[in-house]
Amino acid sequence: MAPTKQKKNEVVEKKLVGLADVVIAAADRSKDPTFAIPIRALSNVSFNERKGLIEMGHKKQARSFFNVGMAKKFMQTMLVADALSELQRADLTTSLREIYYRTKHTIKNSHENTFDTQDESDPIIEDLEVSLTALREELHVRAENGGSVVGPLVLGDDGDRVDCAKLGKGGYSVPSIVEPEYLEIRRCTADFVLLVEKGTQWNRLSEDKFWRRYNCVLLTGNGQPPRGVRRLARRLHEEHRLPVYVLVDNDPWGYYIYSVIKQGSINLAFESQRMAIPKAKFIGLSSADPERYELPRNVGIKLNDKDTTRARELMNYPWFQKPAWQQEIKRMLTSGLKYELDALANKDFQYLTKKYLPRKLKEKDWLD
């Protein structure tokens, strides 16, 4: 495992040093140092229907040092690239927050800071990811652990054996860097992965040992799943051929979370090839479920203007053009209500684990 890790470090470091070479080469020719950054916006993405992925286009924005409007961002980019190169050489990982503090200082003979807030440094790291075609995790930058996993899964974490079936109902905290060099999947005997939006529902499923009765891996990202959770789900799907079912709230935000897991995100379309799971299935909560499972209207929440606007935006996305999805979103808009997974507790505290999901799985009631 070590040689593979070392080789990857060398490849990434070479890409980072290449940025410095651009500046040096331009200076030698008395030219303006310039490099191009792919545009991370809806205007520069397309949906590859054959692959089922959101892909980044070819539009780029030049970032030059002699342009007054770009000089600061150019300098910030080089500072962050230098810090990332240092990490590669030392074979260390660090946090987004530490990158911010590592690169922050006041420019000599001025009151100008290189960075004022972390909101400035985080996007620079994303710019470098897409420019260098290297995931943040490959740049050795980690976020806070943001998910949990439990089930028949044995992992190798920094040489330690982690049996996710023997860690109690709290499970294993999914790290943000789950690449094979850092996290081994030593054994997995599950039949599928259930990726749950909310930690409260994941806790219910874990406490009721749903994973044991239905032989599955339970994953949660506590909302929009962080990249470590998405990448682990992708690895389980790809390396162990496990179906992935996504359980989210019945609202536009739940729909979008599912689409990010399935097709990838607009902002980080360049990483879809290694993050997205085109065969992931939406297992609920569907807009048809309140009637099918006899949930009273009084547990629904009235859609607000923001919900309605977002739902109509989703309907226009190419990846939501399937008739079943158009019907799903229209049905929610027509009802004027959205439903949280928590609403199932109106029937019974264990309704999710004892009735709802068992019936969904038995009837294969999901959306693609």
Ramachandran class of 34: left when φ > 0, alpha when ψ lies in -120 to 50, beta otherwise: beta
Q: Is 293 an active-site residue?
A: no
How far is the C-alpha of 243 from the C-alpha of 190, rounded, in Å? Answer: 10
Where are the extended beta strands (E) located within 253-329? Answer: 281-284, 301-302
Nearest to 125 by CA among 147, 106, 143: 143
CB 185 within 8 A of CB 152: no
Q: Is 60 helix (H, G, I), strand (E, B) or coil?
A: strand
| 197 annotated as ligand-binding | yes
Burial of 238 (0-12, 13-18, 19+ CB in 10 A): exposed
How far is the C-alpha of 226 from the C-alpha of 223, rounded, in Å? Answer: 9
| 158 annotated as ligand-binding | no
- Neighbouring CB atoms inside 10 A of 48's CB total 16
From the candidates 101, 172, 214, 317, which is the catalytic residue?
101
How far is the C-alpha of 195 from the C-alpha of 229, rounded, in Å? Answer: 9
Nearest to 83 by CA among 55, 57, 121, 48: 121
* Length of the chain in terms of residues written: 368
Nearest to 151 by CA among 198, 190, 196: 190
Residue numbers belonging to the annotated binding site: 197, 249
**Active-site annotation, residues:** 101
Q: Pick out the residues of the known binding site for Mg(2+).
A: 197, 249
